[in-house]
Chains A and B, each alone.
Chain A
């Protein structure tokens, strides 16, 4: 079992839909959680950062962490074609410890 699992997709949704992207993990010590967006042939860019449990909202994006289920989610409201990208989750256990990345989910938002 990989330490961080993520459905690779591709996931196709119509413009305006609510998108839910998810990662599961096995290491209960993880407490720093990140979501990155990566456009084709570009570097990953940090989208959301969450420490420990709970929700965090930034515009159309909401990151949710459920440590009891070892499950994190990224919700995108009113999805746009410009949201079409690969979304990577990443996590670490202690400050300064190396990150573990999920393989990414490819999202296509169709106009």
Chain B
């Protein structure tokens, strides 16, 4: 258990509405990530953060924005949800253990359906 929680765990929303997903960690890791997982595509990086207020885009960032005002929280916002954003969203953290190990640990996911 990497101390990661995601909320909500399930959400159904309508096209055009804004949606915010929250990732919360308890261990003060600097790096946090948002992925989406779709059949046939595996995990694709949406946005990531390397510190408070420091974020950058991943490979599928269009239609998404993020914010990180506190170390423990990383928010993903769909400004105007579309059906193509129906997916399972995972948050991940990357510990810096000082030994050069480079791994990521994932949260339980949020299942989002856009009607």
Q: How far is the CA of A6 from the CA of B105 in the complex (A)?
A: 21
A43 adjacent to B90 (CB under 8 Å): yes
B100, B104, B108, B109 pick with most chain A CB within 10 angstroms: B104
B43 adjacent to A101 (CB under 8 Å): yes
Which of A6, A8, A41, A43 contacts B106 (CB under 8 A)? A43
**Residues of chain A with a CB closer than 8 A to B107's CB:** 43
Chain B residues touching A, range: 20 to 34
**Residues of chain B with a CB closer than 8 A to A103's CB:** 40-42
A98 adjacent to B45 (CB under 8 Å): yes
**Residues of chain A with a CB closer than 8 A to B111's CB:** 41
Q: How many residues of A contact B (CB 8 A)?
A: 24
Q: How far is the CA of A49 from the CA of B105 in the complex (A)?
A: 12
CB of A29, distance to nearest CB on chain B (Å): 13
Closest partner residue, chain A, to B100 (CB atom): A95
Query: Hey, which bits of chain A sit against chain B, CB under 8 A?
Result: 6, 8, 32, 34, 36, 41-46, 49, 51, 88, 90, 92, 95-96, 98-99, 101-104
B42 adjacent to A102 (CB under 8 Å): yes
B109 adjacent to A43 (CB under 8 Å): yes
Closest partner residue, chain B, to A91 (CB atom): B102
B108 adjacent to A104 (CB under 8 Å): no
B48 adjacent to A98 (CB under 8 Å): yes
B33, B42, B43 pick with most chain A CB within 10 angstroms: B42
**Residues of chain B with a CB closer than 8 A to A41's CB:** 109, 111
Known contacts being A88-B43, A98-B45, is A43 close to B100, with CB within 8 Å?
no
Q: How far is the CA of A32 from the CA of B94 in the complex (A)?
A: 13
CB of B106, distance to nearest CB on chain A (Å): 4
Known contacts being A103-B41, A103-B42, is A46 close to B105, with CB within 8 Å?
yes
**Residues of chain A with a CB closer than 8 A to B45's CB:** 98-99
**Which are the 9 A-B pairs with shortest beta-carbon distances?**
A103-B42, A43-B106, A101-B43, A101-B42, A32-B102, A44-B106, A43-B108, A95-B102, A43-B109
* 14 contacting pairs across A/B (C-beta < 8 A): A36-B106, A41-B109, A41-B111, A43-B109, A44-B43, A45-B105, A45-B106, A46-B104, A88-B42, A92-B102, A95-B100, A95-B102, A101-B43, A103-B42
